[in-house]
């Protein structure tokens, strides 16, 4: 046929062009790595290493927060144990001292009723009848003392009354001192308990602040990871769609489809019906590929939504645990207040009802009033 001859594009030409483009792209990527001093010297994926370092820092911060929380709880428990041990030791010493003072004050040998019968110094301390006033009135030839006479009755009675009065005053003085010491101990105990409660509240606030900080860091990290993953998948999907559109456009605009021409033979001319059938099949393939991409996109979206829901559930559980801890602390404070009030009411009852009767002067005048 005369005129300008038309060149025929063969399947081998498409393969050669695709291989050439692929080699050029590999060459461009290799040049970008070689011309980058950091990647050329380190010989690795710097972005992946950077992400791993960031993840490691987040993990270290989380572990550090956990260790600090555990250390604060251990210090609190040690402080409580030391306070309780010191309180028990102080109570034992106070009780032992009170017992010793009581024995030395109220249980002396000379204060017993039968001490006069076994006093080794009774004869030495006995007063001779000759020095009494009543005996001095007797004549020299008269008898000094008859059997059964009690010449020092008045002086002894007066001395006994004076001794009983001194004992009562001493007993009242000791009782007032013991009551003052008891009130002082109660005040010290109340102050120590309030300080302990304040320390526990401060430690609890520190623990809550640490947990909030750790949750905020983890939440921001998860959010950034999700956003980065979504953006990366969006860019990859966009690039893939652009490549697919370019490939589909080149394939549809070409008069010689590669797979069909290879299957039916090279150099064959296609009819219009055959080309329409090929284009229809290629469109169905494109639609099928788009459907698969949409399903994959939906799966990725569902997976991201599940991760966000899991993070939200963890935050809700953490808040619930914090509320339970606050309620437990509130109940414990209420119980402590009730115990303190009951203890105070008992002390008031003892001081106002049980120990309110103090001996007066009239109480001591009722003794030794008769001969019996």
Which residue, among 80, 342, 89, has the nearest Cα to 193 in the 3D structure?
80
Which residue, among 6, 4, 16, has the nearest Cα to 269 in the 3D structure?
6
Buried b or exposed e, range 44-58, using 16+ CB within 10 angstroms:
eeeeeeeeeeeeeeb
Q: What is the pLDDT along the chain (372 residues), one digit of tens a residue?
A: 444 445 555 777 788 888 899 898 888 877 776 776 666 665 566 677 788 899 999 999 999 989 999 999 999 999 999 999 999 999 999 999 999 999 888 888 777 777 877 777 776 765 544 444 555 555 555 555 566 667 678 888 899 999 999 999 999 999 999 999 999 998 998 888 888 888 888 888 888 888 888 888 888 888 888 888 888 888 888 888 777 777 766 665 655 444 444 444 444 566 777 777 878 887 888 888 888 888 888 888 888 888 888 888 888 888 888 888 888 888 888 888 888 888 888 888 877 777 777 667 777 777 655 544
Which residue, among 169, 167, 188, 177, has the nearest Cα to 97 in the 3D structure?
177
Q: What is the pLDDT of residue 260?
A: 43
Q: What is the pLDDT of residue 296?
A: 85
Q: DSSP H helical segments within 126-152, as ranges?
A: 133-136
C-beta separation of 347 from 184 below 8 A: no
Token digits for 257? 């489809």
Per the listing, tokens 């030495």 go with 124
Q: What is the pLDDT of residue 212?
A: 87
C-beta separation of 193 from 340 below 8 A: yes
Q: Measured in whole angstroms, how far is the alpha carbon of residue 105 from the centre of its chain? A: 51
Q: How far apart are CA 358 and CA 174, in angstroms?
A: 13
Per the listing, tokens 């296609």 go with 270
Q: What is the pLDDT of residue 119?
A: 79
The conformation of residue 355, written as its DSSP 8-state character, comes to: S
Q: How far apart are CA 247 and CA 236, in angstroms?
A: 16
Q: What is the pLDDT of residue 82?
A: 93
Q: How far apart are CA 62 and CA 210, in angstroms?
A: 10
Q: What is the pLDDT of residue 50?
A: 82
256 CB-contact burial (10 Å; exposed 0-12 / middle 13-18 / buried 19+)? buried
Which residue, among 161, 163, 158, 134, has the nearest Cα to 146 in the 3D structure?
134
Q: What is the pLDDT of residue 44?
A: 63
Q: How far apart are CA 280 and CA 260, in angstroms?
A: 13
């Amino acid at each position: 046929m005369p005129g300008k001859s038309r060149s025929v594009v063969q399947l081998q030409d498409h393969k050669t062009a695709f291989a050439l483009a692929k080699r050029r792209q590999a060459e461009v990527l290799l040049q970008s790595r070689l011309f980058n001093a950091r990647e050329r010297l380190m010989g690795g994926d710097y972005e992946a290493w950077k992400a791993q370092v960031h993840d490691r820092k987040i993990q270290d911060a989380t572990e550090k927060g956990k260790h600090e929380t555990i250390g604060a709880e251990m210090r609190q428990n040690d402080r409580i144990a030391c306070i309780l041990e010191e309180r028990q030791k102080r109570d034992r010493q106070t009780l032992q001292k009170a017992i010793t003072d009581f024995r030395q004050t109220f249980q002396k040998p000379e204060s017993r009723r039968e001490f006069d019968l076994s006093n080794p110094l009774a004869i030495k301390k006995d007063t001779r009848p000759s020095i009494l006033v009543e005996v001095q009135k007797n004549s020299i030839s008269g008898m000094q003392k008859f059997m059964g006479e009690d010449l020092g009755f008045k002086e002894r009675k007066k001395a006994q009354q004076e001794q009983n009065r001194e004992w009562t005053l001493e007993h009242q003085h000791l009782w007032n001192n013991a009551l003052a010491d008891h009130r002082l101990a109660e005040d010290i105990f109340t102050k120590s308990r309030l300080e302990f409660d304040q320390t526990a509240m401060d430690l609890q606030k520190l623990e809550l602040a640490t947990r909030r900080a750790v949750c905020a860091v983890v939440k921001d990290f998860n959010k950034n990871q999700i956003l980065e993953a979504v953006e990366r998948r969006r860019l990859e999907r966009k690039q893939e769609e652009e490549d697919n559109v370019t490939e589909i456009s080149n394939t549809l605009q070409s008069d010689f489809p590669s797979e069909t021409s290879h299957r039916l033979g090279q150099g064959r001319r296609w009819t219009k019906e055959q080309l329409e059938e090929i284009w229809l099949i290629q469109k169905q393939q494109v639609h099928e590929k788009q459907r698969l991409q949409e399903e994959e996109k939906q799966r990725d979206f569902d997976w991201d939504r599940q991760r966000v829901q899991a993070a939200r559930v963890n935050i809700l559980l953490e808040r619930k645990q914090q509320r339970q801890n606050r309620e437990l602390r509130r109940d414990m404070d209420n119980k402590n207040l009730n115990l303190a009030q009951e203890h105070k009411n008992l002390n008031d009852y003892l001081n106002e009802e049980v120990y309110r009767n103090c001996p007066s002067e009239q109480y001591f005048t009722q003794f030794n009033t008769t001969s019996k």
